[in-house]
Structure 1
Amino acid sequence: MTIAPTTDKSSFAPSMDIVDAMVARVHSIGDILGRNATIADANRLVPQESVDALTKIGAFNISRLQRYGGYEGGARMLMEVARAIGYYCPASAWITVISNGSVMLTNRFDYELLDQVFADEQPVLMASMFSSPQGKATRVENGWRISGKWPFSSNIMNSQWSIGILKTEDNGKEGIGFAILPRDQYTIEDTWFTIGMRGTASNTMVIDDQLVPDLQVIPAERMMGTGFESLSDETFGRKITPHLTMSTTIATPALGASERALDFVVDMSHKRGVTNTSYFPQHSSGAFVSGLGKASQQIESSYLLLSKAADAIDRCAEGSDPMPKPVRARHRGSIGHSGTVLAEALNDLCWLHGTAAFSETSMLGRLWRDVNTGVRHASITAPLNYELHGDGLVGIEMISTKL
């Protein structure tokens, strides 16, 4: 793998002071995000006002390399910011993760391409879909011809560039690669009709026989392999492992939403009784407060597991020893488990609050839908991740190569 030498090289993840400052800025726009969360759910799209507010505070510049004016942040920074955004609007947190995660993928292309993508100081919003090849790139004389459809492309409605995983054919040789295209080379099909995370607008990207230069297509091994991670003189933002980082951070919108749901139920417990009992307010019931304690610990355990994974990812990117596969698999198991306990916590909170949670206008019901939808993302889903962890424990071939 040929990699251009870096300039303005960063060796470490941003300090927690920088992370905390960004989180504080998120809370400063919390009213905007929270007010628009219901609109995002109803319209299946995060309102532009929220996107503009997130842009203004720099939330879409977390993964952008320092040489292009970004924070060059790691897993912990993106996790904490998405958690804070998710408290107000899970869909806004989701598109923030996806855009930054897509920038993180872009960082593994050649600098000549990055110079084009980040040509000015304006934030670049991106989309990507990398779970399974959905299109094809065929080598031609002056580049690649690309066609295909990529469903579930979160943030595609806001994107200026988008990345898709595809099959490649180069003079009869087949492989897997990634292609990045600007907005004028793909169209969007409105296909995202769900009960939760509706505002992510995860519609289908369509590419119809587009010619792109060599720079815009790279092999899967360059994108997902450990080549960058082994280089001591490479910049932090290009060394951070893509798939595990995305898996860890895409779980955090649900974490923030769960924390908001807990706060809501606690607050309402002072104003509501337990139907068909003499308990008033709700917190006069020992069973109720015990249930709250359990839900709180479920949410806290998720935070601790995700924090541990994020910190481990950042430490590895600060060095030159790639994280071993069994360790990656263990963190994937932790991610799956964190999603499971968050869904359980939301179920329990709805039991505790009462059937009012399932009113069409209930914020708690919306959060329940968002969390239960979000934690079923392919990178988070517990059955797959538990099995990956088990594969690593017993030392057998893993069911997925993307770790």
Structure 2
Amino acid sequence: MTDTTVAPASARITATEAPPASLTAEIVQKIHAYGPLLRENALLADRNRVLPQQSVDALEESGALRIAALRRYGGYEGGASMLLEVARTVGFYDPAAAWCTVISNGSVMLANRYGDDLLDEVFADGPVRMASIFASPQGTAVPENGGWRVSGEWPFASNSSHSAWAIGILFIKDADEQPGAAPRIGFAMMRRGEYEVKDTWYTIGMRGSGSNTMVTENLWLPQNRIITFEQLMGPGYERDPEATFGRRLTPHLTMSTTIQAASLGAAAAALDFVTEKAQTRPITYTNYKRQIDSGAFVQNLGQVSMKIDSARLLLERSAAMIDAAAAGTEPMPLEERARNRGGIGHAGHELVDAVNDLCWLHGTAAFAEHSLLGRMWRDINTGTRHASITAPMGYELHGNGITDTEYISAKL
């Protein structure tokens, strides 16, 4: 197991590659042990629009929430493959818990791009839970007294109810900014208590993610709490031979790849549910006493399974390429990032098709209020439409790479 002692800046641990697969398997085994609890609590999470503390504790105790933290702070400094596998396992029991697992770890991955002095403060007592919003600047930072005066409102902040720290994207209003110049984009690191969580998350799916709105007004932050877009999203660390593995992970592609894990796990749970019920469930208005007696049903179930498998393979390819790049100092080429973004979007499209097909196969009982299949249908259809993984944008980005046309997004 990883030593949880925090190493000061003068005693840095060098981690140049992802931890061994055996560690991932160990965490996955613990999650399966907590599985019945997570699945039972998923009903409470869906009803109350936030994860129960008992579920958060289970994720903590399994090690699922310390994947992205640097090893010198007691984390595993795991890569995209590790987070994908762990999160899809959590998603099998509760997709919203898997979503929060990815968001917390992904936010820590973003935090790893800040300076060592701030990281020593954030992780002084070991790995922490985090939230982040890194799309569409929703606030401003103005220089004041050697620091920054920050105000902002960041909606859809998953895991914000359980986070100790959070990152919000904003515009940096420099004192010497030229009239008409495009404002710089930056990211503010805020401690819990420096921002409030406004209850705004009312959806039909991924309700337990607690993706409410973070708000702060006239908050003064020291200089090191804000970094620029280029520092956080740029390839600087990816090219740095002195950077550790966790700091070299490319941020946006890693988040996009792993956030799809919640729906991947949910689709597997939906498939298991329909397959189990088919052993005894008849097909109404037919002579079939069991659904599995129908060749058409069995064939379609096999097709659904292949859709889920194809989604998993696409996501695993992306994760493996991310980890391979982070183990060296050559950033992944843009066309490969775009290809993977297309694959991530296509994976989501396949998962939606798969769960829709399962609802057709199972029948109208899928849409009973407390049906596990119905909840997975809601979560998958909601989760796969997240802005960073939606299929249409992914396809167009991949098309940009194929045709050598201008990319529609700078976040690759």
TM-score after normalising by structure 1:
0.98
Secondary structure, counterpart of 2:104 in structure 1:
helix
Q: Partners in 1 of 2:197 and 2:38 — Cα distance?
A: 25
Structure 2 counterpart of 1:98 = 103
Structure 2 counterpart of 1:270 = 279
Secondary structure, counterpart of 2:162 in structure 1:
coil
2:126 is the counterpart of 1:117: no
Contact 1:248 1:310 in 2 (8 A): yes
1:353 is displaced (CA, Å) by: 0.3
Q: Partners in 1 of 2:10 and 2:176 — Cα distance?
A: 32
CA RMSD of aligned residues (A): 1.0
Structure 1 counterpart of 2:267 = 258
Work out which of the residue numbers 13, 26, 31 in structure 1 matches 2:31.
26
Q: Partners in 1 of 2:208 and 2:62 — Cα distance?
A: 20
Secondary structure, counterpart of 1:157 in structure 2:
helix
| Letter paired with 2:171 | K
1:57 is displaced (CA, Å) by: 1.5
Structure 2 counterpart of 1:181 = 190
Q: Partners in 2 of 1:85 and 1:314 — Cα distance?
A: 21
| Letter paired with 1:192 | W
Q: Partners in 1 of 2:11 and 2:238 — Cα distance?
A: 14
Q: Deviations over 1:157-200 (max 9, x none)?
A: 00110001110012132300011100111011100000000000
Contact 1:6 1:234 in 2 (8 A): no
Q: Partners in 1 of 2:241 and 2:114 — Cα distance?
A: 18
Work out which of the residue numbers 9, 15, 19 in structure 2 matches 1:14.
19
2:362 is the counterpart of 1:369: no
| Letter paired with 1:35 | E
Q: Partners in 1 of 2:81 and 2:196 — Cα distance?
A: 33
Q: Partners in 2 of 1:360 and 1:313 — Cα distance?
A: 39
Q: Partners in 2 of 1:302 and 1:5 — Cα distance?
A: 43
Q: Show the 5 A alignment for 1:37-52.
A: 37-52=42-57
2:145 is the counterpart of 1:136: no
Structure 1 counterpart of 2:344 = 335
Secondary structure, counterpart of 1:273 in structure 2:
coil
TM-score after normalising by structure 2:
0.96
**Structure 1 vs Structure 2: percent identity of aligned residues?**
55
Q: Show the 5 A alignment for 1:4-403.
A: 7-121=12-126, 123-173=127-177, 174-403=183-412
1:301 is displaced (CA, Å) by: 0.3
Contact 1:391 1:398 in 2 (8 A): yes
| Letter paired with 2:123 | F
Secondary structure, counterpart of 1:392 in structure 2:
helix
Q: Partners in 2 of 1:292 and 1:249 — Cα distance?
A: 26
Secondary structure, counterpart of 1:208 in structure 2:
strand
Unaligned 5+ segments in structure 2 are 1-8, 178-182
Contact 1:6 1:235 in 2 (8 A): no
1:233 is displaced (CA, Å) by: 2.1
Q: Which runs of 4+ in 1 moved over 3 A?
A: none
Unaligned 5+ segments in structure 1 are none
Q: Partners in 1 of 2:16 and 2:165 — Cα distance?
A: 27
Q: Partners in 2 of 1:165 and 1:46 — Cα distance?
A: 25
1:6 is displaced (CA, Å) by: 7.8
How many residue pairs match? The answer is 399
1:300 is displaced (CA, Å) by: 0.2
